[in-house]
Chains A and B, each alone.
Chain A
Amino acid sequence: MRILIIEDDREAAGFLKKAFAEAGHVADVAVDGETGFALAEEGGYDVFVIDRMLPRRDGLSVIAGLRAKGDTTPALILSALGEVDDRVTGLRAGGDDYLTKPYAFSELLARVEVLKRRAGSRDVETLYRVGDLELDRLSHTVKRNGQEITLQPREFRLLEYLMRHAGQVVTRTMLLENVWDYHFDPQTNVIDVHISRLRGKIEKGFDKPVLHTVRGAGYMLRAD
């Protein structure tokens, strides 16, 4: 995956570039808004990571400018201390995701990978399948190995989100955002307990685990 990082803090940008490289991605860095905009216009990137406060051109204006030119490459906005409704402003300007500093790199990586995937498949499928686990969005049923599993509505949405991003790391914050629609940092074990309940239902009685814990980052649904 090719990532464009527009961040004026050279040290932070350098760290991001290195960390993305370690995760197997190629990242370019621009240290001001104008340069970043020019690089982005050249195209070829899968995801933009854009700081809000940039010299020469504000991050939101860069995104708005790209969107005006018809560039739909997913963009993740990084922001330092902001206002309460920063997220709303950022998303309204054309950003696809939003992360407030300080953040954990694992969180950023997980979000960037999800953004890339989302851009790849615009259409939401009606049937998800991970190994022998099956989720039908239309009939609201979950089956494993042909055997129907009864889930609470919230558990269903949790599994749906995990299955949509099967093979990708999903963080606790991402789960709280997408399943509960709250954007704060959850107390660690709140989401964990929901996951372990879900895990109990979809793994109990079956020999292979599908819902894996990724230490220090989050969870991943994967059949192996």
Chain B
Amino acid sequence: MTALPPIMRTTAARLSALYLILFTACAVVLVVYVSSLSTRMLTAQTREAILEEVSGLGRAYQRGGLPRLVRVMEIRARQPGANLYLIADPSGLILAGNVESLQPGVLDDPGWTARAFTYRRFGEGESPGEKNHSAVAQIIRLPNQMILLVGRDLGEPEQFRGVMRRALVVALGMMGFGALLIWLFVGRRALRRIDSVSEASRQIMGGDLGRRLPVTGAGDEFDRLSENLNLMLDRIAALNEGLKQVSANIAHDLKTPLTRLRNRAEAALSRSADPSAAHEALEQTIAESDQLIRTFNAILMISRLEAGSSADSTEDIDLAAIVADVVELYEPVAEEMGVALGFKVAETVRVDGNRELIGQALSNIVDNAIKYSAEATEKPTVMVSLHTDAASARLVVSDNGPGIPAADRERAMERFVRLEASRSQPGSGLGLSLAKAVMTFHAGALELSGKNDGLSVAMVFPKGKSK
């Protein structure tokens, strides 16, 4: 498309121009059709009137010959009207009638004049400003070679054509006005709303993230569009807020170990006289770094799971086998901490899943359960069990530790949240959130519950092919 002037780049102007062209074309066609039709009708009427006159005069001629014809004609010629009468001798000299002079050559051929001719009416004189009139006529040669002309002035049809022309001009003017109105309505009202939407989005892009697109309350397409875009902006803002929260948490949770790391190195440096103390400080530094790497890995993994889809990385796996693996892995630790770790698994339970992820999530949960049940008043016990029903498979880890108050359970699954009661325990605070991310990845859920003492963490898998 070639470059248009700026005004033509608005939809309103283009629409208006289109309407204008369309309506003008329609109007021209209509006017041309009506005027040609009516011209034809008027011509026919004129000719009919002339024929009537001719037959009237013909009767007079039959009855009384030329003198009667002339007399009747003189009477008729004196009456006001558009009719023209004329008798001329064979040479074309005008003898009687109401025509003073004619365009030359009109009387040469008998019959209808081929086209309109000009004439001067008798008695009009030659005063300037008086124009020749135009007329159509029938020329008849009388038996005595005299020429009779009966005609009719064309003033009326011409007037009519003038009216038509004026009507066309008025119609075109109205079309233009209509186009202007359309531009005013579409451009000024509707398109200004689109402009306000783009203005608002520019401001949002410019950093005013709290701003929303205008909603007028009219409930039309523009409002629906704005409302949906606003919902989208809200969602983005919520995600952004979550990201900020997590960044702040990461900064806080990494700052503490990093500071500790630095202080330890500094202290080791100032006590460099004692090689064994320095060695020990280095070992602690490495252990601390490992913990940091572990935290980082957990954060990365959660982001990966939250961003990823489960396509391609899941397969048909046996949950019971994973339970057996994890329990076997943790059994020595549990024994060392004086916790009885057991599992109740009746049969193989197959789900569509990722063995690695489920194994890691389950170990996090079992790890937590062992740590917290060690604080139990009675004999510390952790039980892993696997139940299935028609819709889902539930992998439940229960302990008899202090549990989590119902109000705090939802929060416990958030990243970095370590409830006050657990501050004394080592850990990154990412275990449950990682497990939750794994369950979300599997289109399942992580549910926390518990009665009296203890906590039950259930990994709920949808049964059958979830994809």
Residue positions of A touching B, CB distance < 8 A: 81-85, 88, 100, 102-104, 154, 176, 180, 182-190, 193-194, 197, 215-216
Contacts and interface: CB of A to CB of B under 8 A. Distances in A.
Contacts of A81: 300, 303-304
Nearest to B332: A193
B318 interface: no
B300 A187 contact: no
A160 B293 CA distance: 29
A188 B297 contact: no
The main secondary structure of chain B at its interface with chain A is helix
Given A85-B313, A193-B336, A183 B356 contact: yes
A188 B289 CA distance: 13
A88 B356 CA distance: 12
Interface string B324-355: 01001110110010000000000000000010
A102 B328 contact: no
Contacts of A88: 313
Interface residues of B, number: 32
A93 to B, nearest CB: 15
Contacts of A186: 329, 363
A84 B354 contact: yes
Given A187-B363, A216-B283, A82 B296 contact: no
Nearest to A188: B290
Contacts of B360: 182, 184
A184 B358 CA distance: 11
10 smallest A-B Cβ distances: which pairs? A216-B286, A193-B332, A85-B313, A184-B360, A84-B313, A193-B333, A182-B359, A102-B293, A215-B283, A185-B294
A173 B183 CA distance: 72
A96 to B, nearest CB: 19
B323 interface: no
A184 B359 contact: yes
Given A190-B332, A193-B333, 6 more contacts: A81-B304, A84-B304, A100-B297, A104-B286, A182-B360, A188-B287
A154 B328 contact: yes
Contact of A82 (B304, B328, B336): B304
A100 B313 CA distance: 17
B126 interface: no
Contacts of A82: 304
A111 to B, nearest CB: 15
The main secondary structure of chain A at its interface with chain B is loop
B312 interface: yes
Contacts of A104: 286, 289-290, 293
Contacts of A154: 328
A104 to B, nearest CB: 6
A185 B303 contact: no
B297 A83 contact: no
Contacts of B441: 84
Interface string B198-213: 0000000000000000
Contact of B363 (A84, A85, A102, A184): A184
A194 B332 CA distance: 6
A182 B360 CA distance: 8
Given A82-B304, A183-B356, A102 B297 contact: yes
B179 interface: no
B414 interface: no
B325 A180 contact: yes
Given A81-B303, A184-B356, A103 B308 contact: no
A81 B297 CA distance: 9
Interface string B265-292: 0000000000000000011001101100
A154 B333 CA distance: 15
A194 B283 CA distance: 22
12 contacts: A83-B304, A85-B313, A104-B286, A154-B328, A182-B329, A182-B356, A184-B356, A184-B359, A184-B363, A185-B294, A187-B367, A190-B367
B382 interface: no
B361 to A, nearest CB: 9
Contacts of B290: 104, 188
A190 B333 contact: yes
A83 B293 contact: no
Contacts of A83: 304, 308, 313
Contacts of A176: 329
Contacts of A182: 325, 329, 356, 359-360, 363
Contact of B312 (A85, A190, A194, A216): A85
